[in-house]
Amino acid sequence: LWTLGNAYFSARNFVAATPFYERLVKVTPKDDGAWIAVGAAAFNGGDNDRALVAWQRAAELNPKNAEAFYNLGFWYLAQVPAQEANAIDMWQKVIDIDATSDFAKDVMSRMASASTPSPTK
């Protein structure tokens, strides 16, 4: 299931990848990595509601999974209007979990650039 889901995901066919990852979580419902994959495929395939559920489940199963909170931050930013405060809360959790991780470095950079005032003419 991983192989097929990953093949579709790599081919950017997120809608086709999602059912394979969903079958995977039915077989291994406590695998936070599988829930991350469901969320990523769903989000990239346009199913934001499914992505939210999947990433929340991953975070619930493993509160130290920085990737779950990293992705949730992007979910909040994708809302209309963007929920920036919630995104920052999620990204702060990423930093709290492991400030030296690539996820944390990325969110620290994003948060720093968001707080930088725009130049004026």
Instruction: Scan for tokens 């936070």, then name that residue.
Output: 32
Spell out the per-residue pLDDT of the chain, length 121, in tens. Answer: 889 999 999 999 999 999 999 999 999 999 999 999 999 999 999 999 999 999 999 999 999 999 999 999 999 999 999 999 999 999 999 999 999 999 999 999 988 887 644 333 4
Instruction: Scan for tokens 């939210």, then name that residue.
Output: 52
Left if phi > 0, otherwise alpha if psi is -120 to 50, otherwise beta: which for 44?
Answer: alpha
Contact call for residues 38 and 20 (beta carbons, < 8 A): no
